[in-house]
Amino acid sequence: MDRSSLIDKKIELNNAVWDDYYRGYQKASDMPGVRYPNEHLVRFINRISKKGSKKRKRILELGFGTIANMLMMQDCGYKVLGLEVSQDAVERARGAIKKKNLESSLSVDVFSGNRLPVEDESFDIIVGLQCVYYNIDQEVFAKECQRVLKLGGWIFFSFFSPRHGYMNYIDDQPGSVVKFKEDHPNPRLKGLELFLFKSKVQFEDIYGRYFDIEVGLEEFDLEPIFMSWQYLIGKKRPFTKPRINFTTAPFLQKPLRAKESNINKEVAQDKNRELWDRKYRLMYKDGVMPGNKYPNEHLIRFLATRRRPTNSFYVNIGKENEISGDGQKVLEIMPLNITNLMMALDMDYIPYGVSGSNIVIEETKKAAERLAKAESMHLDRFEKGRFPYKDKTFDVIISEKAGSYMPNQRDFIDETKRVLKSRGEIFIGYLSPRHGYLQWARPLGSSYYEITPLHPDPTMRGIMIYVPEKNILEELWGKYFDVEIKFAQYDLYKFFSSFYFVKARRKDADAK
């Protein structure tokens, strides 16, 4: 069997696995899988979209699985064609598109192999998340992307990195085609073959011939398997040329160290509130809801999986829509807008939001009224770090980054523990000492920093942030909680982003 026939055979076997998977996946749903778009794709689309453009551009999404990404891109003004190897996935997507009356802007079809069933230079963007590595011959696939993209068009793909936990279950080495072994913990992936890139240089060798590329890395340990993804962003050049021009991500940068000093935390708290109000006035200008239109992916994962036994992550694959909040009360601390609260409501939680800013509360209430959700949400303001709730009110407390914006950490932790039920759970984010913000921060002492006037976002200047090491978080939260400190970080944008997440359950009895 020649190389081309062998590759076709491997692709055929891969496609059969996915088709079989989708036939049994959430049978009752016409939109199986994740209900929200990929967070990095949202950022990418916003980054490259030209404001005021009246021309409706075209996007090709490969391996869409669910139409969540397509809906987001359509909402941003694009026409989208989705291609999938599974006939079942395509049929369900067509049903969902028809229900939403979006057939003029969204369409789907089946495809197989490296050859894309579309005309030359017919798309402005090609998107492929957690799928394009199953195209065994990446050189042929890269050339196909170059063929169907218009000049100046973009690609946005994600790939397993060699650091991903799944790479403990492959039968070969990075830099070539590998196969998932039979002992793989995810049953749907056993036997699948994929191309595993070894380094950024290899991306340059293959995709750099046709595109000016950036390769970024996202990693987090919030799942039972360590997650590590390479994101490839490329812009089509007018000529084909081998290039070697890559930069190393700043993963080895050293955190800034602060000396001990005395900080008046009450004064700092009042100052922060004034600065946040200034920031929010600018962000809510003209009544526009600021920030992301979609919920944080890590909060989605936490709320969707928190009630499963810790050892049943893979047993429950395909049952995501069966997970429900069952009317439990969830509190989001310092919401920026309504999106995370809407996500919690969609999962059958009773959402509460609390902020130190009147502006945020007022504008979030307006958004809830516009969406006819005002009666389903509870929005309140806190004063002097004191939450306006009775003891043991909440089942769950969440926050993307509020941990870093609370000057008095011990009072913040005491308040969180006070309003949380016994055995209740928290998921609270902090900036880590490796975060890029610290290059524009002045050390104040004891893990506290002040954002200087050099920060590129003027609305952040002057704000005090708390940026602790992992062991400090373990000590602080460990008094009342059974604690796990998780991390998430990525280098896909202007500065390196790195976060710690306190994932914890309140102890049955308060520690002495």
The more confident residue out of 10 and 482 is 482
Pairing between β-strand 464-466 and β-strand 448-451 as defined by DSSP bridges: antiparallel
Is residue 54's pLDDT more than 60? no
Tokens (6 digits) for 457 = 């976002």
pLDDT tens for 478-503 read 999 999 999 999 999 888 999 999 99
Q: Is the pLDDT of residue 17 over 50?
A: yes
Give just the sign of the alpha carbon dihedral 247, 249, 254, 257. positive
Q: What is the pLDDT of residue 4?
A: 65
What's the pLDDT at 256?
38
Q: Where are the domains of the chain?
A: 3-42+53-236, 325-506
The pLDDT, as a whole number, for residue 275 is 74
How many CB atoms lie under 10 A from the CB of residue 176? 11
Q: How far is CA 331 from CA 231, 345, 397, 487, in A?
A: 33, 11, 5, 21
Q: 359-401: per-residue pLDDT in tens?
A: 889 889 988 998 899 999 999 999 888 999 999 999 999 999 9
Residue 6 pLDDT > 80, yes or no?
no
Q: What is the pLDDT confidence band of residue 53, given thresholds at 50, 70 and 90?
A: low
Mean pLDDT computed over 237-245: 69
Q: For the chain, what percentages of helix, strand and coil (3-state, to nearest 5) are there?
A: 35, 25, 40
Shared fold status for 3-42+53-236 and 325-506: yes
Span 82-134, pLDDT tens digits: 999 888 889 889 999 999 999 999 999 998 767 899 999 999 999 999 999 98
* Residue 313, pLDDT above cutoff 70: no
pLDDT for residue 253: 37
Q: 325-506 sits in which CATH class?
A: alpha beta
Query: How much of the chain exceeds pLDDT 70, in percent?
Result: 81
Q: For the chain, how far is it from start to end, CA to CA, in angstroms?
A: 71
Q: For 333, what's the count of Cα atoms within 13 Å in the CB-facing half-sphere?
A: 30
Question: What pLDDT score was predicted for residue 16?
Answer: 67
- Integer Cα distance of 353 and 361 in angstroms: 8
pLDDT at residue 171 above 80? yes
Query: What is the 3-state secondary structure of 138-163?
Result: HHHHHHHHHHHEEEEEEEEEEEECCC
Reported as a single tens digit per residue, the pLDDT across 330-344 is 999 999 889 999 999
Question: 134 and 194 in contact (C-beta within 8 Å)?
Answer: yes
Q: How far is CA 54 from CA 49, 105, 152, in A?
A: 11, 15, 18
Query: What mean pLDDT, rounded, does the chain reach?
Result: 85
C-beta neighbour count of 386 within 10 angstroms: 11
What DSSP line would sit under 269-298, residue for residue? HHHHHHHHHHHHHHHTGGGPPPS-SS--HH
Q: What is the mean pLDDT of residues 309-314?
A: 42
pLDDT at 512 over 90: no
Residue 344's pLDDT is what? 94
pLDDT digit string (tens) for 394-432?
A: 999 999 999 999 988 999 999 999 999 999 999 999 999
DSSP state of 56: -
Distance of CA 206 to the CA centre of its chain: 27
The residue whose two tokens read 């496609």 is 15
Are the beta carbons of 189 and 181 closer than 8 angstroms? no
Q: Which CATH number fits domain 3-42+53-236: 3.30.950.10, 3.40.50.150, 3.20.20.70, 3.40.50.300?
A: 3.40.50.150
Could you give the CA distance from residue 50 to residue 107 in angstroms, rounded to a whole number? 23
- Closest Cα partner for 344 from 32, 29, 36, 28? 36
